[in-house]
Amino acid sequence: MAASTRLALFDLDNTLLSGDSDYEWGQYLIDRGVLERNEYEAQNNVFFEQYKAGTLDIHAYLQFALGALARHTPEELEQWLAEFMEKRIRPMIGARAVELVRKHLGAGDLCAVVTATNSFVTAPIASEFGIPHLIATEPERSGRAFTGRVSGTPCFREGKIVRVRFWLDSLGQPLESFAQSTFYSDSLNDLPLLCLVKNPVAVDPDDSLAAEAARRGWPVISLR
């Protein structure tokens, strides 16, 4: 099969999804009684506001979020993830997002989700969209169990560039080899990767990214 000449990268949270899967996973575990509401919810909200403000310390957040995975067995987590997909994620998948992904897949573009949210939570979401590649923050495992630590470079801000380049190099298709490269995102946190691709697209952007897109003349679309 000939290598694709077009690359389409999709942020996940508040881009393809009309919500944040990482935040909702924490809230789901709270509502299920797995996590203590007052303590975890308050800290989850603090980190979420820092993310939106562009001030998140990703390592501090991952220590918090991945620690929740480490406290439970893989069997428990898989059961909860299936219910989470059904109750929280599928309602956040809109027809326009599905149509956009299908357009790129149908054109033969090389497609990937590129997300800061960990791969345990996001792998079934990428599969739901039919996107064959996932570039996400990787939680460390010991056997099948999670350790609570991150493996490698977090897929966040400049880390997304590191992870995307590593993935493309593993395919023998460096970023510069694509005639067209597109990245869809809602967040100013993704400015490094948006500036790197040939076709940056702001999707239902936060106020900061909306202003940046207007300044740079980038297209702005809505999937809501």
Question: What value does the mean pLDDT of the chain take?
Answer: 95
Does 1 reside within a domain?
A: no
**Quick check: 125 pLDDT over 60?**
yes
At 62-92, the pLDDT tens digits run 999 899 899 999 999 999 999 999 999 999 9
Return the pLDDT at 44.
Answer: 85
Number of domains in the chain: 1
- Angle between helix 119-129 and helix 95-106 axes, rounded to 10 deg: 70
DSSP state of 17: B
At 182-196, the pLDDT tens digits run 999 999 999 999 999
DSSP state of 89: I
At 132-144, the pLDDT tens digits run 999 999 999 999 9
Return the pLDDT at 2.
Answer: 67
Residues with Cβ within 8 Å of 186's Cβ and at least 6 positions away in sequence, in order, are 11, 13, 14, 15, 202, 203, 204, 205, 206, 209
Dihedral sign for Cα atoms in the order 112, 116, 119, 121 = negative
Over residues 102-118, mean pLDDT: 98
Q: How many residues does the structure list for the chain? A: 224
Does 51 reside within a domain?
A: yes
Q: How confident is the model at residue 94 (pLDDT cuts 50, 70, 90)?
A: very high
DSSP state of 130: T
Check which CATH number belongs to the domain holding 108 and give it.
Answer: 3.40.50.1000
Are the beta carbons of 191 and 181 closer than 8 angstroms?
A: no
13 has catalytic annotation: yes
Are the beta carbons of 148 and 65 closer than 8 angstroms?
A: no
Higher pLDDT, 98 or 65: 98
Does 194 reside within a domain?
A: yes
Return the pLDDT at 39.
Answer: 84
Are the beta carbons of 134 and 169 closer than 8 angstroms?
A: no
Which residue among the candidates 13, 20, 109, 186 is catalytic per the annotation?
A: 13
Return the pLDDT at 120.
Answer: 97
Are the beta carbons of 182 and 7 closer than 8 angstroms?
A: yes
pTM over 0.75: yes
The whole domain housing 111 covers 6-221
Please count the CA atoms within 13 angstroms of the CA of 188 that sit on its side-chain side: 15
At 4-62, the pLDDT tens digits run 899 999 999 999 999 999 999 999 999 999 998 988 888 988 998 998 888 999 999 99
**Quick check: 210 pLDDT over 90?**
yes
Which residue among the candidates 11, 186, 190, 206 is catalytic per the annotation?
A: 11
Q: For residues 38 and 101, what is the distance between their CA atoms, to the nearest angstrom?
A: 38
Are the beta carbons of 110 and 101 closer than 8 angstroms?
A: no
Are the beta carbons of 23 and 44 closer than 8 angstroms?
A: yes
Percent share of the chain, pLDDT over 70? 99
Are the beta carbons of 142 and 155 closer than 8 angstroms?
A: no
57 has catalytic annotation: no
